[in-house]
Amino acid sequence: MPLPRYNFRSRSGSGESNSSTLAENNLEEGVVTVPGHGFLTSDSLADDNEVIEPVGIDTESAKDIDSQDDIQHAVTPPSGLRIQGCGTQVSDLSISQVLGRFRTLADINEQNSDDVCTVCSNICCGEEEAICCDKCNKWYHCQCVNLSSLEYSRLNDPQLTWFCSGCESQQSSPGSTQVTQFLLDLGREEIVFGSLGGLDAINAINSAYDTICNWRPNVFLTPSGAAGREFLRIIKNLLDEFNNEGPLKPYAIKLILIAGPLLLQKPSARSKSKDHVEALSRRIDIWKEGCLSDLLREGKTIQKKLAKSKSKPSPLKVFSNLMGKGQISAALKWVSSNPSSTLPVDDTVIDILHSKHPSAKPMDADCTFEGPIEVPDPILFNSIDGTLVRRAAKLTRGSAGPSGMDAESWGRILGSKHFRTIGTGLCDSLATFIRILATQDVSHDLIAPLLASRLIPLDKQPGIRPIGIGETLRRIAGKCLAMVLKSDVTAATAPLQTCGGIEGGVESSVHAVREMYQDPTTECVLLVDAANAFNCLNRQSALQNTGVLCPSLHQYLKNIYGEPSDLILRGTNIKLSSAEGTTQGCNLAMDFYGVGIMKLINILKEKVPLCRNSWFADDSAGAGKTEDVKSWWDTLQLYGPRVGYFPQPGKTCLIIKDPAKIDYFKSLFPGIHVTAEGSRYLGSFIGTKSATDNYVNTKVKEWINDIEDIGQAAASEPQFAYSAYYYGVMKKWTYLMRTTPDICNLLTPIERAIKSKLIPALTGITTVSETLRDVFSLSPKSGGLGLQNPAEISDTEYNCSKNINEDLIQAIVENSLDPFLPNIKKISKAKLQSKKTKTEQEQQKKFSILNTCGEELGRQIALASEKGASSWLTSLPLKSCGFILSKQEFHDSIKIRYNIKLDGLSNDCACGNRNSIDHSLICKLGGYTSLRHNHLRDTLSNLLDVVCKDVVREPPLLPIANEDLPRGTTLKNDARLDISCRGFYTPLDRTFLDVRVLHPNSPSNAKKPLAGMYKTHENEKKSKYLQRVVQVEKGNFCPFVMSTTGGLAPEASCFVQRLSSKLSQKLSQSYSNVLGFVRRKIRFELLKTTLMSVRGYRKSKTVFISELDLNLLNFYVN
Sequential DSSP letters for 202-254 = HHHHHHHHHHHTTSPP-BPPPPSSHHHHHHHHHHHHHHHHHHTT-TTHHHHHH
User: Which among 924, 920, 935 has a CA at the least distance from the CA of 1091?
Assistant: 920
What does the CA dihedral 725, 727, 729, 733 come to, rounded to 10 degrees? 130
**Range with the poorest average pLDDT among 159-163, 336-340, 534-538:** 159-163
State the pLDDT confidence band at 1102, using cuts at 50, 70 and 90.
Answer: low
**Range with the poorest average pLDDT among 151-165, 539-553, 618-632, 961-975:** 151-165
Mean pLDDT value of segment 999-1025: 95
pLDDT at 591 over 80: yes
pLDDT at 330 over 70: yes
What is the pLDDT, as a whole number, of residue 157? 63
Average pLDDT for the chain: 84
What CA–CA distance (Å, rounded) separates 489 from 478? 13
State the pLDDT confidence band at 96, using cuts at 50, 70 and 90.
Answer: very low
What is the pLDDT, as a whole number, of residue 988? 87
pLDDT at 177 over 60: no
Strands 673-675 and 653-656 turn out to be parallel
What is the pLDDT, as a whole number, of residue 162? 74
* 1078 backbone dihedrals φ, ψ, rounded to 5°: -60, -45
What is the pLDDT, as a whole number, of residue 314? 86
Q: Which residues contact 445 (CB under 8 A, 6 or more apart)?
A: 177, 180, 181, 184, 250
pLDDT at 167 over 80: no
What is the pLDDT, as a whole number, of residue 1104? 54
What's the residue count for the chain? 1118
What CA–CA distance (Å, rounded) separates 1022 from 968? 9
Other C-beta atoms lying within 10 Å of the C-beta of residue 862? 18
**Range with the poorest average pLDDT among 120-124, 399-403, 724-728:** 120-124
Express as a percent the part of the chain with pLDDT over 70.
83
**Range with the poorest average pLDDT among 26-30, 368-372, 956-960:** 26-30
Amino acid letter at 631?
A: S
What is the pLDDT, as a whole number, of residue 734? 94
pLDDT at 87 over 90: no
DSSP for 279-314, written as a single string: HHHHHHHHHHTT-HHHHHHHHHHHHHHHHH--PPPP
Amino acid letter at 349?
A: V
What is the pLDDT, as a whole number, of residue 572? 81
pLDDT at 969 over 60: yes
pLDDT at 63 over 70: no
In the structure, how many helices (H) and strands (E) does the chain have? 46, 23
Contact by Cβ (8 Å): 1045, 863: yes
pLDDT at 327 over 60: yes
What is the pLDDT, as a whole number, of residue 625? 96
pLDDT at 723 over 70: yes
Cα 210 to the center of its chain, rounded Å: 26
pLDDT at 293 over 50: yes
Amino acid letter at 340?
A: S
pLDDT at 59 over 50: no
Mean pLDDT value of segment 769-789: 95
Other C-beta atoms lying within 10 Å of the C-beta of residue 143? 14
pLDDT in tens, 106-126: 333 444 445 677 767 677 765
State the pLDDT confidence band at 154, using cuts at 50, 70 and 90.
Answer: low
What is the pLDDT, as a whole number, of residue 730? 92
